[in-house]
Chain A
């Protein structure tokens, strides 16, 4: 692989062995963003974060220091969110059906409320996507990371990011169309 890795080399304290406290100190922002990009709901983020650190701690012997850290962390985040969603399946279904409409009916004209509405609807649509595709979609389309950076995070070649991004876009367009069909009266400014 000739792609330049944009992953920052882990701090010396992470060389061996991996320490969950050090991961928190150095990568809290990355984990926080990643859990959101994977669709972790705001009220669950704190618990999800602790889950991730717990898995990091339990699996620390399995981490190869020669390999980049962020793909390893990304993989853990993905599996933690996947397991969480399986557990909260019914709750998530309720949220996607009712919350966006309620949010969309918020009468406030302020920018912040509109953005909250848009985010609720967007999450309802994104929640139907496969987790990794969702994360790649969010990283590129919303957080505006370059594909090279996404490749370094997910641990795949840039070409793979492009093809997964295109697949994510197709999934997204289809889900958006379905959502609009189910909620015809909800419009956005």
Chain B
């Protein structure tokens, strides 16, 4: 059966609907700036999965995680995977981080390890593979019953650490991405700046974030950010910038 004609091409359809469909643009394609901006957040996003607590994600996102469960559609791709022989799992991290190999500390006859979040920041701890001494276990939220059982019996090969502070290059990338986004999506820019790490350009980020929040119409939040910035770095040119942005305030 061939595809039907498109609704906007139907001559006998509703004229208003036809015009609506003809005028509306297609879904926006992902731009390189989008790709970079999204990629910059991924390490923190994944890190929050391993640590369990609310490190990087906004609270509303965490509430969502509780609500997301596999429905019927997801069952199509589900398959009970037999406990396979353990193989070394190589985690490929983004180019900004060194590649991390999660080495198996045990021989192949033992069950596969807990799927602890392969945080790019984690470095394989050689001591963990050698000593039989008890290794600190991390509170994780395993994806399945099987994983939960394994968490008790198999010590992890490494301990996930907090995500690393961003390098200067990464901080600059975040600023560029936020500036590119500011006119069309100030709320998104504000969120990007809020979640970014790095100590060297923190003032710049806060100033830009205050500006984004103003553009997004969230003046109270903008003032709070500006106040924190001017309190922390009163002499910084960034502080001067936000003072003029918001006018003199308490």
- Looking across the interface, which residue of chain B has its beta carbon closest to that of A22? B92
* CB–CB B49/A142 < 8 A: no
Please judge, given known A-B contacts A51-B64, A122-B21, whether A32 and B78 are in contact too, CB under 8 Å: no
Residues from chain B with a CB closer than 8 A to the CB of A22 are: 92
How far in angstroms is the closest Cβ of chain A from B75?
9
* CB–CB A57/B67 < 8 A: no
Interface-side segment among B37-45, B103-111, B124-132, B238-246: B37-45
CA gap between A24 and B35 in the complex, in Å: 9
**Is A45 positioned at the interface, with any CB of B under 8 Å from its CB?**
yes
Residues from chain A with a CB closer than 8 A to the CB of B30 are: 28-29, 32-33
Residues from chain A with a CB closer than 8 A to the CB of B17 are: 172-173, 176
* CB–CB B68/A46 < 8 A: no
Residues from chain B with a CB closer than 8 A to the CB of A158 are: 1
Residues from chain A with a CB closer than 8 A to the CB of B57 are: 50, 54
**Is B136 positioned at the interface, with any CB of A under 8 Å from its CB?**
no
* CB–CB A61/B76 < 8 A: no
Residues from chain A with a CB closer than 8 A to the CB of B7 are: 141, 169, 172
**Is B6 positioned at the interface, with any CB of A under 8 Å from its CB?**
yes
How far in angstroms is the closest Cβ of chain A from B33?
12
* CB–CB A75/B49 < 8 A: no
* CB–CB A140/B6 < 8 A: yes
* CB–CB B24/A46 < 8 A: no
**Is A147 positioned at the interface, with any CB of B under 8 Å from its CB?**
yes
Q: Which of B58, B67, B89, B94 contacts A86 (CB 8 A)?
A: B67
Residues from chain B with a CB closer than 8 A to the CB of A42 are: 184-185, 188
**Is B180 positioned at the interface, with any CB of A under 8 Å from its CB?**
no
Helix, strand, loop or mixed for chain A's interface?
A: helix
* CB–CB B23/A21 < 8 A: no
Please judge, given known A-B contacts A63-B77, A138-B27, A176-B16, whether A19 and B68 are in contact too, CB under 8 Å: no
* CB–CB B78/A43 < 8 A: no
How far in angstroms is the closest Cβ of chain A from B151?
13
How far in angstroms is the closest Cβ of chain B from A125?
8
Residues from chain B with a CB closer than 8 A to the CB of A121 are: 20
Q: Which of B4, B46, B77, B81 has most A Cβ within 10 Å?
A: B77
Chain B 14-31 interface mask (CB, 8 Å, partner A; 1/0): 101101110111111110
Please judge, given known A-B contacts A62-B143, A144-B6, A188-B19, whether A47 and B74 are in contact too, CB under 8 Å: no
Residues from chain B with a CB closer than 8 A to the CB of A46 are: 37-38, 41, 185, 188, 191-192
**Is B207 positioned at the interface, with any CB of A under 8 Å from its CB?**
no
* CB–CB B64/A143 < 8 A: no
CA gap between A57 and B38 in the complex, in Å: 15
How far in angstroms is the closest Cβ of chain B from A99?
13
Please judge, given known A-B contacts A53-B45, A84-B64, A86-B67, whether A143 and B144 are in contact too, CB under 8 Å: no
CA gap between A84 and B68 in the complex, in Å: 9
CA gap between A58 and B38 in the complex, in Å: 18
Residues from chain A with a CB closer than 8 A to the CB of B144 are: 61-62
Residues from chain A with a CB closer than 8 A to the CB of B248 are: none
**Is B60 positioned at the interface, with any CB of A under 8 Å from its CB?**
yes
**Is A178 positioned at the interface, with any CB of B under 8 Å from its CB?**
no
* CB–CB A146/B3 < 8 A: yes
- Looking across the interface, which residue of chain B has its beta carbon closest to that of A34? B27
B84-120 contacts to A, CB under 8 A, are: 89, 91-94, 115, 117-118, 120
**Which A positions have Cβ atoms within 8 angstroms of B?**
13, 17, 19-22, 24-25, 28-29, 32-33, 36-37, 42-43, 45-47, 49-51, 53-55, 57-64, 66-67, 71-72, 75-76, 78-80, 83-84, 86-87, 114-115, 117-119, 121-122, 125, 138, 140-144, 146-147, 155, 158-159, 162, 165-166, 169, 172-173, 176-177, 180, 188-189
Known contacts A58-B141, A67-B76; can you find 7 more A-B pairs with CB under 8 A?
A49-B38, A51-B65, A76-B74, A118-B20, A119-B23, A141-B21, A189-B23
